[in-house]
Amino acid sequence: MSFEDEMNAIENVETSGKYIQEACVEIVTIKAYSMSASDYKGVPYVEFTFETTNEDKAINTSRFFRVKPDDKPDVAGFKMKKLKELLENAGADFTLKGEQVIKSAIGLTVKALFKKVEYGGVDGNLNNKPIIKTKIEYSFCTKTDDTIKGNQSYLYTPLNAKSLAKFNADMAKWERDNPQGGDNTPIVSEDPPVVDDLPF
């Protein structure tokens, strides 16, 4: 199936239209997937659509980045392990080849942890003022009957040091360029308290 055909098929997949809004652990169905186009200029990816099995039936779309020829072995290994974990826990058919393995996971379920992640953006209503936004994305999963154990930090990923330094530099420039811009206090989230061995 061509990429264009895949995108047309995805349009016909029925989902609730409501999105997962907060970090959580939920049993989800793998509803659909799409792959970056062959001429995509960024890091190639597989994007999955998940839907919770509870009565709310909220959805999430998350990207799994694929291996690039220049990836270091540890980076390539991490990418492959993350995708394999999802497919294995869902019960995908590994006797198939290539993309058919991914297709075999559609309609299957896993227990997944979704985390809230900070990223840099701008507020178009405030003359493109730099702000720190958040999104919900897939982190890892188990089989549906297994228990996920971890701590509260698993549910939240703040900006890393490099991204925070860029944000602060962008904010400083914005403040210089917009002396009448109002409240220029950076919007930075506090790290969540750590609670060890939190069961889900």
Mean pLDDT of 90-107: 96
Would you place residue 196 in the very low, low, confident or very high pLDDT band (cuts 50, 70, 90)? Answer: very low
Residue with tokens 């080849």: 97
Please give the pLDDT value at position 151. 87
**3-class SS of residue 13:** coil
Name, in order, each residue with C-beta under 8 angstroms of 117's C-beta and a sequence gap of 6 or more.
134, 135, 136, 137, 156, 157
Taking residues 58-78, report their average pLDDT. Answer: 95
SS3 at position 86: helix
Taking all residues of the chain, what is their mean pLDDT, rounded to a whole number? 86
What confidence score (pLDDT) does residue 183 get?
53
- DSSP code string of 95-136: TS-THHHHHTTTT-EEEEEEEEEEEEEEEGGGTSEEEEEEEE
Q: What is the pLDDT of residues 119-147, one digit of tens each?
A: 999 999 999 999 999 999 999 999 999 99
Average pLDDT over every residue of 82-104? 97
* 109 neighbors 29 (Cβ within 8 angstroms): yes
Is a pLDDT exceeding 90 seen at residue 168?
yes
87 phi-psi bin (left φ>0, alpha ψ -120 to 50, beta other): alpha
Q: What are the pLDDT digits (tens) for 1-21?
A: 454 554 445 445 555 569 999
Buried b (16+ CB within 10 A) or exposed e, 34-43: bbbeeeeeee
Q: Which residues contact 184 (CB under 8 A, 6 or more apart)?
A: 129, 171, 174, 175, 178
Task: Kindly report the pTM of this predicted structure.
Answer: 0.79
The conformation of residue 94, written as its DSSP 8-state character, comes to: T
Q: Which is higher by pLDDT, 1 or 97?
A: 97
